[in-house]
Amino acid sequence: MKIHAARLVTLLAALWCAEAWAQSSDEAHIELSRGPVAGSARVVGLGGAYSSIGEGLAGMSLNPATLGNRNHRMKRWWDWDAGAGLSFLPLDDTDYENDGQANTAVESQQIWQVGAMLQAGHLGFGWHWASRVYKVDRLGSHQAEFNFDEHLLGMGYHLERIGLSIGLSGIIESTRIDLQERGDFFDTTEASAKLGGTFDGGFSGFQVGAIYRPVNEPYRLGMSLRMTSEQTPLDEIDGEAFDERNVAVPNTVRSPTELRLGASWQFGKPYNPPRRFQSLGDLVSGRSAPGTSPAMEQKQEPESAAEQAEETGEETAPIEPPEPTNAEPEGSMEGVGDEPAPEASEPEEPAAAPEPTDDPEAPGDDEDPEEEPTEEEETPAEAPSDETPADEPPPESAPEGEPKLLAPAPWLTARRLTPRHMRTPDRPTAEPEEPKAPRFEEEASDEQMYALLALDLVVSPSQSLSSVTYKGPEGFAVDRDERAGTEWTAAVHAGAEFEPFPRWVKARLGTYYEPSRFEGVDGRGHVTGGFDVHFPHIWLVQRAVDRWSWDPRIVEWVDVPLMAQVTVDRAEHYLSIGISIGVWN
C-alpha cells in the first residue's frame, strides 16, 4: 500500500512539474509593440504624423513609398540621404512601454538609428536599421543585455502621370540576449541566444505603402500596412548559464500588425510642384529636365556656347562674323561718317562720283558712270526738298544722329543699319526678362515662409487569436506578470513644422495619443518638439579659402549640407531626448 501511495505521489509531482513547465513555456513569448514614437528627429518632432509627408530617409520606417517620393527641392537626376542618431531614455520614473510599471529593474536603455537611401529618377532604394537595447541586473556580478534589431530593405517608385508613389520593404527582425559578467573596463559574454525570422534570408515580414501627391495641390495622402511573423530560436550557446543566472530565453518574438493612414497640408510654399529633375527616361532619350523654364534654357544656351568657345580657343569667333559680312560697305560708310560735309555741301562736284561707284549694289552702275552723278544729284535733292526746307542745316548737325545723315541715300542707310544691328549681339540676349512658363509660376524660393500640418491614424489588431500569452520586453526580462496584445488599439498623431529662420533653422511641434497594449493599463498623451540647425561649415570654409588662398578643392570636399537635430518627447512617466546629425534638404 505504501508503495502504491509513493507511486501516486511521484506521478502527481511529475504531472505538476509538467504543467508548470508547460505554463512557463507558453508564457515565454514577447510582443514588440512600437510604444512611443521612435525614429528620426523630424518624425519625433512631428509627433509621428509622417506617413503622408514621406520625404527623405525619415519616412522609410513608417511608409516605404517614401523611397519613390522625391523632395521638390531636388534638381539632380539622382540624390541621396543618410542619417544616424542615438536617443537616451532616463530610467527614473520612466515607463517606456506604457505597461503601468516603472523601469526600476532596468539599468539602461538606448535607441539607435542608422540608415541611407539612394534615388535615381523616379526609382529609390533604401536601408534602415533600428535597435532597442536595455540591460537588466542579474545577481550583481552579471547582467542580461537584450537587443531587439530591425532591418528594412526597401524599394519605391513614383507613377508621375497619376501622382502616386508606391513602395515595398522587407523586414528582417532579430533578437539577441547576452549574459555578461561585469568587468572593470569591459564585460565578458558567458552565454548568448538569438532569435530570427522564419523566412529565407532571415526575413520576418513585409511593409507596403503608397503616397498620393497630386501636382500643384497643397495636400498629400498616405497609407501603409505592416505584417510580420514570429521570430524563432536560431542558436543557443551554453544555455545552462541562463538557468543558473535566472535569465529566461523567449520561445517566440513577434511585432503586431499595423495599418497607418495619414494626410498633410502645407501653406506658403508649394507642396507638390512639378518635378524639376530628369527621370531615367529623360537621360536615355536626351531630353532636358521639365522643371527648367524656357527663359532658363535660353539663358543657358549662350553660356554653354561661350564655354565651348573658350575650350576650343575660338574666343574671337563672336566678333569676326560681323566684319567680313559687310567689310566693303563698312569702309564706305566710315568714309561717309567721317567726312559728311564735303558730300552734302558739294553735291555737284564730280569728285563725289567714285564713292557710290565703289558699292557694287549702288544704282546707276549699268553703262555710263558719267551720267550717274547727274541723276544721283537730282534724286537726293528732290527727296529732302519734300521733307525739310532748303534752309535747314545739313543732316550731320541734326540731333538724331546717323540715321538722318544717311537719309539722302536710302541704299546706304540699309547697308549701314545692318552691321550696326549685328555689332550689338547683347540686345537679343538681354531682351527676354526671364519669363516663367505658367506651370512654374508657383515655384518658391528657399526664403519663403511656410507651415506644414500633418495627421496620422494607426490601428493595430489584437493577438487574441493566438493560443499563447505575450509579454512586453521589459516584463519578460524581469519576470513580471502581465499580458500584452489582448485588445485592438488605435493611436492618433498630429504635428506642425515651420522655419523661423529660412535655410538655417526649422522648428517642429507635435502631439499624439499612445494606447497601451497591456491589459488593464490606460493610454497616455505625448507632447513633442524639436529643431534643426544648418551647419555653416561650407560658408566658413569658403571664407577661409578666399582669405588665406587655400586650395579651392577643399570647398568641394566639404560641400555636403549637414545639420544638427535635437528632439524632445514628454509624457506621463516618460521622457526622451535625442541628438542626431543628418543632411539638410
Mean pLDDT for 549-565 is 84
Rounded CA gap, 569 and 96, in Å? 11
Question: How much of the chain exceeds pLDDT 90, in percent?
Answer: 30
Give how far Cα 100 sits from Cα of 96, 472, 526, Å: 9, 11, 16
Mean pLDDT for 7-36 is 56
Q: Give the global pTM.
A: 0.69
pLDDT at 441 exceeding the cut of 60: no
Mean pLDDT for 159-165 is 94
Q: Phi-psi bin for 35: left (phi > 0), alpha (psi -120 to 50), beta?
A: left
**What's the CA angle centered on 456, arms 212 and 487, to 5 degrees?**
125
- Comparing CA positions, the residue from 197, 323, 200, 214 lying closest to residue 265 is 214
> Cell 512639378 belongs to which residue?
274
| Range among 170-174, 343-347, 377-381, 438-442 with highest mean pLDDT value | 170-174
* DSSP-assigned letters across all residues of 463-487: STTSSS-BB-HHHHHTT----BS-S
Question: How much of the chain exceeds pLDDT 70, in percent?
Answer: 66
Mean pLDDT for 128-142 is 82
What's the whole-number average pLDDT of the chain?
75
> Cell 508621375 belongs to which residue?
160
Q: 338-374: per-residue pLDDT in tens?
A: 444 444 444 455 544 455 444 444 444 444 444 444 4
Rounded CA gap, 322 and 424, in Å? 10
Q: 37-95: per-residue pLDDT in tens?
A: 987 888 999 999 999 999 988 899 999 999 999 876 677 888 888 888 777 776 677 88
Q: 204-261: per-residue pLDDT in tens?
A: 999 999 999 999 999 999 999 999 988 988 887 777 788 887 788 888 999 999 999 9
pLDDT at 375: 46
Do residues 516 and 523 lie in contact, with contact meaning Cβ atoms separated by under 8 Å? yes
Sign of the alpha-carbon dihedral angle for 275, 170, 112, 132? positive
Residue 293 pLDDT class (50, 70, 90 cuts): low
Question: CA neighbours within 13 Å on the CB side: how many for 573?
Answer: 16
Q: What is the dihedral of CA 49, 51, 55, 58, to 10 degrees?
A: 70
Domains of the chain: 30-273+449-583 (2.40.160), 373-441 (no CATH)
Q: What is the DSSP letter of 432?
A: -
| Range among 1-5, 100-104, 331-335, 432-436 with highest mean pLDDT value | 100-104
pLDDT at 23 exceeding the cut of 50: no
Burial of 513 (0-12, 13-18, 19+ CB in 10 A): middle
pLDDT at 265: 97
Beta pairing partners, 500: none
Rounded CA gap, 404 and 161, in Å? 60
Residue 437 pLDDT class (50, 70, 90 cuts): very low
pLDDT at 1: 46
Task: Give me 368's grid cell.
Answer: 555710263
Question: CA neighbours within 13 Å on the CB side: how many for 164?
Answer: 6
Rounded CA gap, 206 and 150, in Å? 12
DSSP H helical ranges for 166-262: 239-244
